[in-house]
Structure 1
Amino acid sequence: MGTDAQAAARPAQWGLAALGAVGLAVAAALAAYARVHPGDGAALTTLGFSGMLQMKAWLTTAATVLVVVQVLSALAMWGRLPGVTDPPAWVTGLHRWTGVVAFLLTLPVVFHCVWSLGFEDGSTRVILHSVAGCVFYGVFAAKMLALRLPGLPSATVPVLGGLLAGVLVVLWFSSAFWFFGQSGYASY
């Protein structure tokens, strides 16, 4: 017979396994679809931007700025932001809504990446970007599930949130930063 600690650890282990399985399944499904779907490079919409790449670069930049707000508000909520001992009540709402808006901004980007461009591996930058894009949505799915699963270690959501922010920064550097370096920031 196991100890109480071993019994308590079992649900957490199953929960962490479920998070890993969901994250991996989402990332693999996106990668598989993007890999087998031959993208033709055509934009279905540009949302008023002059082209698909401009739209993707600017929406990813806006999402990345909001993720900086996400990280700062999460640090404040968890009592880890230097100088903030008791965060105002609105910080939680700010965290949720900047997360919602950042996620919504990424949807037209991922749609065009998967549908119009596909999974590409022509250079190190491009394959890094393709893999990071799939991983981003896998981590996002795992984080959203972690918010609802009881009994997980307390560090689970902050670790997944930090990973999500880190992957988005990799995506930004491997796409928008590169794009702006090629075409200039005035490219709309």
Structure 2
Amino acid sequence: MTFATDKRTAVGLLVPLLTGALVAVALGVYGRLHTPTGYAVGPAGFSGALAMKSWLTTGVFLLAIVQVVSALSMWGKLGVSIPAWVHRWSGRLAFLLSVPVAFHCLYALGLQYDAPRVLVHSLLGCFFYGVFVAKMLALPRRGLPGWSLPVLGGTAFAALVGLWLTSSFWFFTAVGVTF
């Protein structure tokens, strides 16, 4: 590999990373500057907004586990072959389930910092969507280092685990398992 190839590879990864960072910062700034409405967004079928967000986030978390397992299979690390469409569709469904949760968090609550758990949750939410954008932008790029997609995917998964622990797990242990 030549210096020119290394430079192209670095620049190719830099664009998705910078865009993801901009998304994360923009979400955080919006969450801080926007006056929260305090109104729940669509908890249809649930007892309230927290229950809705907890269950949808749990669905996202479970689908993220499918993402990790199917990615390991695609990279040949499991010894079994899981079809690539499982990875693509579990990711799409996870993203769709996350949108009402993120929308409610930003629109109704904003970025909060009054309690450590809430601050960590708010920052992880912004970070998760930034990493998600970076991964989606890196996906179609050719010539990136082989470690870039696994690192971006693993970072998104780690952020999602943190989000689940600071939201759904907290809700289920503090409030109880309710719908």
What interval of TM-score do these two structures reach, taking the shorter chain for normalisation?
over 0.9
1:148 maps onto 2:140 in alignment: yes
After TM superposition, give the deviation of residue 20 of structure 1 in Å: 1.6
1:21 maps onto 2:18 in alignment: yes
Give the Cα–Cα distance (whole angstroms) in 2 for the partners of residues 168 and 153 of structure 1: 24
**Which structure has the larger Rg?**
1
TM-score (norm 2): 0.97
After TM superposition, give the deviation of residue 42 of structure 1 in Å: 0.7
Map 1:23-172 → 2, pairs under 5 A: 23-81=20-78, 84=79, 87-88=81-82, 91-172=83-164
Give the Cα–Cα distance (whole angstroms) in 1 for the partners of residues 19 and 142 of structure 2: 16
1:9 maps onto 2:3 in alignment: no
Give the Cα–Cα distance (whole angstroms) in 1 for the partners of residues 165 and 121 of structure 2: 9
Structure 1 vs Structure 2: percent identity of aligned residues? 47
Give the Cα–Cα distance (whole angstroms) in 1 for the partners of residues 7 and 69 of structure 2: 33
Give the Cα–Cα distance (whole angstroms) in 2 for the partners of residues 96 and 46 of structure 1: 27
Structure 1 stretches of 5 or more lacking a match? none
Conserved? CA contact 2:42–2:49, under 8 Å: yes
Q: Would you identify which runs of 4 or more consecutive aligned residues in structure 1 move more than 4 Å?
A: none
Q: How many residues of Structure 1 are paired with residues of Structure 2 in the alignment?
A: 179
AA aligned to 1:30 is L
Q: Secondary structure at the match of 1:39?
A: coil
AA aligned to 1:182 is A
AA aligned to 2:4 is A
Give the Cα–Cα distance (whole angstroms) in 2 for the partners of residues 71 and 47 of structure 1: 30
Give the Cα–Cα distance (whole angstroms) in 1 for the partners of residues 10 and 69 of structure 2: 29
TM-score (norm 1): 0.92
After TM superposition, give the deviation of residue 16 of structure 1 in Å: 1.7
